[in-house]
Amino acid sequence: MPEIDPNDLAALLERLNKLEAELEATKAELAVAKAELARKDQIIEALQKRLFGSKSERLDPDQLELLMGEEALGTVATRR
């Protein structure tokens, strides 16, 4: 960036206006990025609920047999 003469008020005002415009553009970009981040956070939360929620914690009776044995479940094995 070229050096601006501190006594050149027109150049200083032009530089100030340019910087203010850049600041507003950056604020707009930041707002868009925050909105996108919030949307992605909601998607991640929904996927986590779907993956780890109470509905995903179902046990198959065969899994219980492996853990406790058929006697604990009150069933008798007829398979051979």
Domain locations in the chain as residue ranges: 9-73
Check residue 7 and give its pLDDT.
Answer: 87
Check residue 5 and give its pLDDT.
Answer: 86
Of the candidates 25, 5, 7, 6, the residue with the CA atom closest to the CA atom of residue 17? 25
Q: What is the mean pLDDT of the chain?
A: 82
80 falls in which pLDDT band (50, 70, 90)? very low
For residue 29, the number of C-alpha atoms closer than 13 Å in the C-beta half-sphere is 6
Check residue 15 and give its pLDDT.
Answer: 95
